[in-house]
Amino acid sequence: MDFDLTPEQQALRQLARDFAQKEIAPVAALYDEREEFPLPVYQKLGEIGILGMVFPEQYGGGGADLVSLAVVTEELSVVDVPVGVSESVNGMVGSIITFFGNQQQKDQWLPPLAKGRMLCSFGLTEPGAGSDAMAISTRASLEDGQWVINGTKCFITHAGTPISGLIIIAVVTGES
């Protein structure tokens, strides 16, 4: 088995490395000090195609694989872990919508996520479970055609930013 990066993956790695040095490194400490989400940095990631790289092309993405996502996340995180995490969560959420969303959800959510015009929040962490997905207790049940969610989440990634627009919550829907 060949574990070398493809030429496309190498090019994405270099793009992310150059971007991190030029655009993130000069401002990372300032955003940390202000405890502020680096919105301009994030939007630039969308403009250059990094945020949508794993989304299907018909939704404004690049159709890249998950190894590419990991490589880019690593390069961004070398300079600033929060930016790397934000980029990887965007890719993860886009993958969830790509694989499990219906056509309307894909049309509505993937293009703005790919371009950095919207952030998706992701709620996994719970007070009693931390980020252990197998230990979560928040439940969802279908009642009269509507999903009813009962439980508590904390530390929701991307909640409360100026461009937060969608929340995906990890819940239990049946018995294990």
Q: Are strands 119-123 and 164-169 parallel, antiparallel or unpaired?
A: parallel
**What is d(CA 33, CA 71) in angstroms, rounded to the nearest whole number?**
27
Region 152-156: mean pLDDT is 91
**Mean pLDDT for the chain overall:** 93
Rounded to an integer, the average pLDDT of 124-153 is 94
- Per-residue pLDDT, averaged over 35-59, amounts to 94
Q: What percent of the chain has pLDDT over 90?
A: 85
Q: What is the mean pLDDT of residues 35-50?
A: 94
Question: One-letter amino acid identity for 34?
Answer: R
Residue 87 · residue 50 · CB < 8 Å:
yes
Q: Say if residues 86 and 158 touch (Cβ distance below 8 Å).
A: yes
CA dihedral for 68, 73, 76, 77, sign (positive or negative)? negative
